[in-house]
A = this chain, B = another copy of it.
Amino acid sequence: MVNPRHIFDDELKNLRADLLRMGTLAREAVDKSIKALINRDTNLAEEVITGDDVIDKMDLDIEMKCMELIARQQPMARDLRTIGTILKTITDLERIADHAVDIAKIAKILADQPPLKPYIDIPRMCELSLSMLDDALRSFVNEDVELAKKMCERDDLVDALYNQVFRELLTYMMEDPKAVVRALYLIFVARFLERVADHTTNVGERVIYMVTGVLKELNV
């Protein structure tokens, strides 16, 4: 017997695919923005900045589709939670992409300034945040609560790294007035990456809610 809701399921599937695509774009944006920063690649930075429009549009698109699906298909229970999750997750993804833009803008500013010091912690933060995002998206696709929970735990590492970067750069600033601007920007970058991880944690919480019906803040 065919599932009588298969059309709705198809639409839901499309929506999830859309979300995943958006997640991937956001992830790439962050990745590229950090690459642009490190490699002083203004073109790449510009790409991230202009690319954000696509993501913003996807955000709107998906939201409208969700509303339409609610209006037209009267989802209940898990279906409804899925749509709720998508609705909230796209906001986080959109924010993540915005942070990528913020970073890219800083990359553009710093591109023609001498490097303060070799980038070590920031790429590590980026890597960590993005691996979290990967896991968040994967847990969404596979409805994998365990993965989501583990992923959320890693947020602490990102926070620790942020504090470390913050303190280090603070020292630079106090030591060398000429470094102030650059260091400040880098602090912002670190801060943005920390936010990326925070938003990623939100996604994880949402996945858990979607599957279990329980919504709990994990990154207090």
Residues of A within 8 A of B (CB): 56, 60, 63-64, 67, 70-71, 74-77, 80-81, 84, 87-88, 91, 170, 173-175, 177-178, 180-181, 184, 187-188, 191, 215, 217
- For A88, what are the chain B residues with a Cβ–Cβ distance below 8 Å? 63, 87, 91
Pick from B64, B175, B180: contact of A173, CB below 8 A.
B180
Partner of A67, one of B60, B81, B191: B81
Q: Tell me the complex Cα distance, A84–B80, Å.
A: 13
How far does the alpha carbon of A81 sit from the alpha carbon of B67 in the complex, in Å? 8
Contact of A71 among B60, B76, B87 (CB under 8 A): B76
Residues of B within 8 A of A173 (CB): 173, 177, 180, 184
Q: In the A-B complex, list the 4 residue pairs whose CB atoms are closest, starting with the nearest.
A: A174-B177, A173-B180, A174-B180, A74-B74
| Contact across chains for B77 and A71 when beta carbons are under 8 A apart | yes
Docked CA distance A71–B48 (Å): 39
In the complex, chain B residues whose CB is within 8 Å of the CB of A71? 76-77, 80
